[in-house]
Chain A
Amino acid sequence: MRLASLASRLVIVLAALGTAACAPDVLRRPTQLTTVSDQPPVIIEVMDTAIVSLERGFRRRIPRGSTWTLIGRSPEGQVFRPVDQVFTVEGEHVHEAYLVLDGDRVVGFYLPVERAFAPARGGTDTRLSIRRRER
């Protein structure tokens, strides 16, 4: 009986690991980035940490104090690249990502290698507390 219980637990653990191994990749669609070269560059600083969920993929943390520079615009919003840090989104695979904002709302992420937009879950519910600053 005890052996059967152990075996069933092992099956559950293996199934969980197997499921994790087969996580679907980040949901994304092709998009078009139009770059800007503003002088001086537009920099924003995140004033409060925010957690953003993707439509598909793991949740991401946008830390307080992180700074981002505006590099362009896509149909979904303004695209900001992290300054002196890296940012990635992860599903089955890991992708470098930039922040896409509509005003102060996080609408998703721009994936520069894939030239794609990965939408945040819940549309535009996540607002960022940001401060614009000169570099």
Chain B
Amino acid sequence: MRARTGFVAAALLLVLSGCATGAKYTEVASTLPPLAPSQGRIYFYRPSAFGAAVQPDINLNSQKVGTAKPHGFYFVDRPPGNYEVTAATETEKKLTFTLEPGQERFVRLRIAMGVLVGRIIPELVDKAQAEKELSSLSFIAEPLK
């Protein structure tokens, strides 16, 4: 019985240790730097801790901007244009979208079952839906660290 409890606790610790911690979106949203009029802002977030061990790099137009950290979010400001988000696990899933000046885009990093490991699927989400999901997530101030 004690061994089983210990196993469950260890498993839980393992899952949670891979999750983002820190200030929640609701606490930092009003303190985030304002968006320059010539730029757009792209948020990345992963609401689920399922498959927490799978944390691939997230690339924006082939440049790493962070990882798919469970329960975390971060953002980057970029000039208007066409963008491609990729997350490589056993396969590479791409998301393409446009960005306009002053526009905010929200990319949800959803985990899906793969053959050997889970895979991350980047999805474009409405602001209203994203803000609901972001409210309980932790801000990753330095996603490249």
Determine whether the beta carbon of A114 is less than 8 Å from that of B124: no
Are B123 and A21 in touch, CB under 8 angstroms? no
Residue of B nearest to A93 (CB): B94
- Give complex CA distance A88, B124 in Å: 7
Size class of the B contact interface (CB-based, 8 Å): 20 to 34
Interface residues of A in 76-94 (CB under 8 A from B): 84-86, 88, 92-94
Check A111 for interface membership: any CB of B closer than 8 A: yes
A94's partner among B94, B119, B127 (CB-CB below 8 A) is B94
- A17 within 8 A of partner (CB): yes
Question: Within the assembled complex, what's the spacing in Å between the Cα atoms of A86 and B107?
Answer: 11
Decide if B121 is an interface residue (CB 8 Å cutoff).
yes
Chain A residues within an 8 Å CB radius of B125: 86
- Chain B residue with Cβ nearest A112: B98
> Is there a chain B Cβ closer than 8 Å to A18's Cβ?
yes
How many Å lie between the Cα of A21 and that of B115 in the bound state? 8
B7 to chain A, nearest CB (A): 24
B84 within 8 A of A: yes
Q: Which of B96, B113, B114 contacts A96, CB < 8 Å? A: B96
**Interface 0/1 of B56-88, CB less than 8 Å to A:** 000000000000000000000000001110000
- A56 in the interface (beta carbon within 8 A): no
Report the minimum CB–CB distance from B62 to chain A (whole Å): 14
- Does B91 make an interface contact (CB < 8 A)? yes
Does A14 belong to the interface (CB within 8 Å)? yes
Q: Does A95 sit at the interface, judged by CB under 8 A?
A: yes
* Contact across chains for A17 and B122 when beta carbons are under 8 A apart: no
User: Are A94 and B95 within 8 A (Cβ)?
Assistant: yes
Q: Which of A14, A86, A111 contacts B124 (CB 8 A)?
A: A86
A96 and B97 contact, Cβ closer than 8 Å, known pairs A21-B115, A86-B126 = yes
Which chain B residues border A112 with CB–CB below 8 Å? 82, 98
Looking at the complex, which one of B84, B91, B126 makes contact with A21 (CB distance below 8 Å)? Answer: B91
B residues adjacent to A (C-beta < 8 A):
82-84, 90-91, 93-98, 113-115, 119, 121-127
